[in-house]
Structure 1
């Protein structure tokens, strides 16, 4: 390595990369490969900060094979190469959550088994990249005492011993003890380094993870985003993430927000602006005078929303606000000084002075914070914002509108219907707009102390004013970590939240992924009897129709204090400006910014972060007492309904030319915006589903079914759960249902049953779809499930990029109709049989011919963007590719 000194923050060399307190170190590229003009370009601050992180990684990891010198040069020449080249990115670490982390551990265990069976050494199968797995991400809300304490994760005591095995046997794996916090929250509070230091060698922290909320860390100046479980496993094994060198949209924030606007209002406003600016598939980077007015908690909440407006990530470079935050979260003075010196030396520190020069961006979006007023979002999509003062009239309009993205099409004469219902000895009246679920959930917003304290202080003032919440409303509070409970308790507001029904039910995803305790039967019956448009109000960021339960048809996203306010009101048909809550108005009990600031200073202090660190390092009694074998191979339990050895590695194939897909039937004919929730639901297992039949045959009762998220280590359950969403709209069926037609017999069956028949008959299947196939969370089972159903290809008008990559990573061909073409324009019914003709050698973006049994021939684009994706497809996916590397 060549060493260079630093003088006046300008490098006395023709390169820059990693830095120690006294030295600039360049591990890979010879300085002559970077011209003085290129260095001048970099040092003039013209590159966006996020691109500088990509550049640093490419230089540090350059090995001439996975990362080449041309990759570094392409990144440095970002201004002309954006959107035109693929570049590799080697993150510093990986974070897994239980939804995809547990099946990843199962896959690694299965990979060891396969490598052993193929004559290799299973001990070699280990993650190469430091990996943390958190257990507490998924939570099924039950108001009961379990044998392990109130509302413990149901599968906690069923598989933790298996996780203990992973932590003991695999190198570079660290498991975060249960009852600590969920993935993205723990990532922010404990795992984030901002700057990595390994043997006195410094480089920027960066991360990928199996959760869409991973983008939160960008609020700390850490480059990170969520990828599929399949891609993540490849990264764990030392492969880079490949992405198109992105456009970077500069988002300039100016002005100051209204005192009544919470960070959630700011988030929703920015979401709307960026969605309108079309930032899909791009990086977003924030700058301007308004940035310094946002706390790190605000920034992480904003960064978390980027999956909702389609960006890969939303980046807030490290600045003085970041350093101040880190000071209160346990970083010692000496470490902060080194961090600041390093970041300034390598031009990764944002100067918040107005005179500082901003980077060049692909485009600039300007947002004035002073224009932001309180909003909610819904009733069906997170991008549909509704000003709080317009909520009552907007819901009325939704009742009138035709069924669609907002409308419910309720006849005028039925819009004021009232259904009386007896509950716990009292009579209540349900009507359109009544609230039956109100949840302050673990998703991201709870990490912001200001909004959570606002909810608590509002609850305190409400209780003191004699206000209550109707008992039939399913209220819950599931913070992202114990830190939230700590400061809610120490501030004295937690008992008041509890009095209104917002009791802490645990730490992890609950209501937002459909893990909601069932509504009282009397309430369910009344809603169905009166065809009532019942509502849920959540403080989350995701809003997918049908997620809560089948009788809640309107779902609004709101800030935590507004969730409490609407729960007290009991309906969304209220104008808070003119209609009181009991005998007072909302404005009378709404916390002021001064109150919140004082409470935050008193409660959100460094001791909480120190306590969290101790808790994570020491674990807990139950976790520490668990015993697990330390055998090289995993001791599979053939009776387990939670963990099975999957069939992905039954044959470790050598790369072959793509095979003809011949006379394939269409398993499903889908429309636009099919989400990964539609493909692989995460909620509870319906009693009539194929997965339920399987579990029943294994001797389980419906009470023991648990959720799909809990059973992601069992391929038999997950395959049966593929396309099992009750809101799936298959054009063969004509109404929402997880059904399809098995064309050889003409039977209408569950999707799994039809696929099973096709496989027994040796008939391949494909999927027809519209635009934006695979939107939503980056779930590995959204690709693994179709693969195990026998799906060979998907033909869609367009794809969500992460899901498209996962299809390739499992061995499914993503094919795209030519521009302006779709099944309708081509006259396809989906009842034909299809043959896809592959040439001996694929090339990126090439067109293929498709023949149908009716004689029609049309062309599609094979969405392989680079040679690596083609290589993975030839191997049958990335899992087989990385497994063969150990042979």
Structure 2
């Protein structure tokens, strides 16, 4: 809009006989200065500021700061950004809808109309995180898993069906449709969004925030989007701007093309490694260079998807002809494609060959240098060349506290191969100090060894949206089948595509039969193994792992492999391309060097090597050519309808949700209990105890409840007290709508290490001053009874990982007032503030180690009532040895964040605003 402080930039664009109104960036440049070399991502932010300029939430100075960014390629200016829409998945979406329902209840209790609480921006929730791999390796696995999913999650699905009819501007994509990021890429995303207002059609960039960190995948389509906490997403859907500092933008130049036999997964693992080393946390990454000319959009989306793994806010690919080709392929209509081209060219958002934007920093990759790779054993940025995998696993064993530094090897099951004095370890050898375990599975006897692959999963949004790697997996299966190879009996196999289109094109190429023959039957459409929904291993396999304390492996085509995430018994987890997942299922061990060792023995008795079953680029291209527009049009024609089971769910029509005390899935959270129209004064933290003292790289997977619920855990005991048998526990993720379970599972990860306890792994702590060891939840409740506030102490990169709002919600419900860490991940820091927990940072050069903290201290924090963005507070550490003092940096970085904190959280602030009380 035009204001006294901004130029009149509203123009019209004629496309296909229709008139579109838009806010012209070239016109704005006439008043603000040249933006020709401004990165495309910042041009999109500039358009957003221009469109919402009102002299209050957006001022001329905000736009000028974006233009002036080019002078230093950085800025300390805070802006308010309003995305066009919000994307949710059900794990993070259910608690979001629970919060909306709670807000309606709170508004009603304040005497206001609850119907005033509605999303103001379009919201799409895709149910994709609830299917688990309970059944696998047979033709009925998909049908059986869907039936189990519907039975397990009926309460949650009833709640979402209620939300679908109760809230305006809110759509639900039912279960069994696909992964939210792939549905977004193939159907929801438009690249250019439109809205009808006052008889005009306005065109503007398609932008979004999502409640999953891999929302960034859509950047492959030229759509600016990234993951935020569920709390922040709720505020965005309720009309609040996303507060952000104008970011640095790192330019990533791609040149050349991938060599024969190298996949998009190999490329993305290389990019992830490079950018992690570069250091791009909190920054935008924008890809450019002539290498984009031949980079398929599916490959771009694969790279964009893993932005959280390389640490960036987003990894953006500008719009070009390849974008248009993909829009056509996926069934977007001609009018939409024409609008995208015309709008992007008019706004300077079109990628021009040879363009050299101004960037904060740059790096370059010749794609011809990429080699076949995996990543692991517990971080996605730790790339390992395929030929180094056996050695990488050996290193894991050597570093294991239970193994000697130089373990002797035996050759009872295989042979040693020596070359030039170097010992190559064959596939079937075992470590002397980690004995093989005999297994009897379905009448077949074998031994399970360290390094054996017990899970091989084609899963996750990163790769299952990419036809080239999916077809490659099918071709590897076909060639292996022709050679007479079979999957090893100890391997749990699964295929979980990101959309039904994948199974359509695999069937069109006849490759579904080959995958089925190796046990890679369809198990469901959704996130499975990558998020911890791998399901149970066969009982004899689990018993063998536990009996021998075996370090075994999973190989998955996912993006996350943090400790304890995939399966609690699987200590090493390796990210790989779908065809390599198939290969390792055949080899059965990550200690097989697939570059030189046989992958197995063929039906003719001869050894078969990976090169014998690896497809050529020409073969892959021929298969990919079978993907057609009709497949997308067919699968997305009734995307919001769901199957008969979904349609049969009956829900009451009511403005305010009718909470059931008997539900173990959905409960009324206490966040708004006793909330008044105005916020209470902030009090300093006095003599708090340390709930946990944690090391570096503690992820939200360590903090937030995820995966399976153990029967002897606080959450398990809670469920059993309510008559739920362990077999019916479901996962933490599926129960995110019940705060009682989630707070019991906070900090309960089986791999978390609390430094207050020596040699103890898991969610335990020491209650001070009694000295008793107990579950973190139990200790928190005892402290709560004693009226003792709590803090958490941590090292570097606290909160890396997925955008899990329960990592912050659970922290707050446990009574934690502050976290003091050496550094933070962007989303988790924001989420802590959104829940009224203050994130503090140790002074430069100081840490829990330099201060000699043990966790027995009392922590006091003064100055919280006088906080300023980026200000400092006084921390006093008292122990029986005396007192220490230091000034901690307050990581409330912006004025908006400070306002949220003062209100007790972002939702409290928004609620008060919506009823005119703030």
TM superposition score normalised by structure 1: 0.94
**Residues 176 and 26 of structure 1, relative CA distance in 2, 3 Å threshold:** closer
Q: 2:65 aligns with which of 71, 74, 85?
A: 74
Q: What is aligned with 1:9?
A: none
Cα 1:554–1:657 change in 2 (3 A) is same
Q: C-alpha distance in 2, partners of 1:498/1:816? A: 52
Q: Per the alignment, in what secondary structure is the counterpart of residue 636 of structure 2? A: helix
Query: Within the alignment, does 1:412 sit opposite 2:437 as a pair?
Result: no
Residues 283 and 314 in structure 1, CA contact (< 8 A), matched pair in contact too = yes
Aligned residues: 867
Q: Does 1:881 align with 2:909?
A: yes
The farther-off stretch of 316-325 and 461-470 is 461-470
Asked if the contact 2:24–2:347 (Cα under 8 Å) also holds between the matched residues in 1, the reply is: no
CA contact (8 A) 2:431 2:450 kept: yes
Q: How far apart, in 2, do the equivalents of 1:721 and 1:529 lie?
A: 26
Partner Cα separation in structure 1 for residue 341 and residue 22 of structure 2: 19
Deviations 1:287-320 (A, max 9, x none): 1111121111000000011111111100000001
Change (3 A) 1:721 1:609: same
Counterpart in 2 of 1:137? 129
Show the counterpart of 1:826: 851
Tell me whether 1:740 sits opposite 2:738 in the alignment: no
- CA deviations 1:382-409 (Å, max 9, x no partner) are 22222112222333343334659xx995
Tell me, what secondary structure is at the counterpart of 2:440?
strand
* Equivalent residues of 1:19, 1:201 under 8 A apart: no
Distance 1:316 1:848 in 2: 41
Contact kept? 1:377, 1:557, Cα under 8 Å: yes
- Stretch of structure 1 that moved more, 834-843 or 185-194: 834-843
Deviations 1:52-93 (A, max 9, x none): 000001111122333233222212222247241112211000
Corresponding residue SS for 2:42: helix
488, 491, 495: which one pairs with 2:506? Answer: 488
User: CA separation in 2, counterparts of 1:867 and 1:139?
Assistant: 41
2: CA distance, partners of 1:692 / 1:50: 46
Determine whether 1:812 maps to 2:837: yes
Aligned-partner Cα distance in 2 for 1:506–1:179 = 7
Q: Is the 8 A contact 1:137 1:183 kept in 2?
A: no
2:891 matches 1:863: yes
Deviation at residue 839 of structure 1 after TM alignment: 5.4
Q: 2:364 aligns with which of 363, 366, 370?
A: 366
CA distance in 1, matches of 2:843, 2:9: 44
In the other structure, the counterpart of 1:707 is: 731
> What is the DSSP-based 3-state SS (H/G/I as helix, E as strand, rest coil) of the residue aligned with 2:158?
helix
Greater alpha carbon shift after TM alignment, 473-482 vs 638-647: 473-482
Residue of 718, 721, 724 corresponding to 1:694? 718
- Alignment CA distance shift 1:694-1:18 (3 Å): farther
Aligned to 1:278: 279
State whether structure 2 residue 655 is matched by structure 1 residue 632.
yes
Correspondences of 1:97-246 after superposition (within 5 Å): 97-143=89-135, 149-150=146-147, 152=149, 155-199=152-196, 200-246=201-247
Instruction: State the Cα distance separating 1:17 from its structure 2 match.
Output: 7.7
Distance 1:462 1:427 in 2: 23
Equivalent in the alignment of 2:76:
84
TM-score, with length taken from structure 2:
0.91
State whether structure 2 residue 666 is matched by structure 1 residue 675. no
Match of 2:397 among 361, 385, 399: 399
In 2: Cα distance, 1:19 partner to 1:112 partner: 41
Structure 2 SS opposite 1:87: strand
Displacement after TM superposition at 1:617 (Å)? 4.3
Structure 2, unpaired ranges of 5+: 136-140, 410-429
Is 1:539 the counterpart of 2:557? The answer is yes
- Structure 1 segment 636-647 matched on structure 2, within 5 A: 636-647=659-670
From 585, 595, 598, the counterpart of 2:619: 595
Greater Cα shift, 558-567 or 129-138: 129-138
With 566-575 and 509-518 compared, the bigger mean Cα shift is at 509-518
Task: Tell me the distance in 2 between the aligned counterparts of 1:397 and 1:669.
Answer: 28
1:507 aligned residue:
525
1:208 alignment partner, SS class: strand
Change (3 A) 1:676 1:54: same
Output the CA distance in 2 between the equivalents of 1:27 and 1:37. Answer: 13
Contact 1:303 1:314 in 2 (8 A): yes
SS in 2 for 1:664: strand
Mapped contact 1:20–1:342 kept (Cα < 8 A):
no
State the Cα RMSD in Å: 2.2
Say whether the 8 Å CA contact 1:57–1:90 is kept in structure 2.
yes
Any idea what the Cα deviations from partners look like across 1:681-702, whole Å, max 9, x if unmatched?
A: 3201011110001001111100
Residues 26 and 638 (structure 1 numbering): CA distance in 2 closer, same or farther, change over 3 Å?
same
- After TM superposition, give the deviation of residue 149 of structure 1 in Å: 4.6
- For residues 465 and 145 of structure 2, what CA distance do their matches in structure 1 show? 26
Whether contact under 8 Å (1:106, 1:645) holds in the other structure is yes
CA distance in 2, matches of 1:82, 1:746: 49
Contact persistence 1:29–1:62 (CA under 8 A)? no
Specify the alignment match of 1:387 in structure 2.
385
CA distance in 2, matches of 1:18, 1:645: 48
Segments of 5+ residues of structure 1 without an aligned counterpart are: 4-12
Q: Deviations over 1:32-57 (max 9, x none)?
A: xx673734x11xx2100000000001
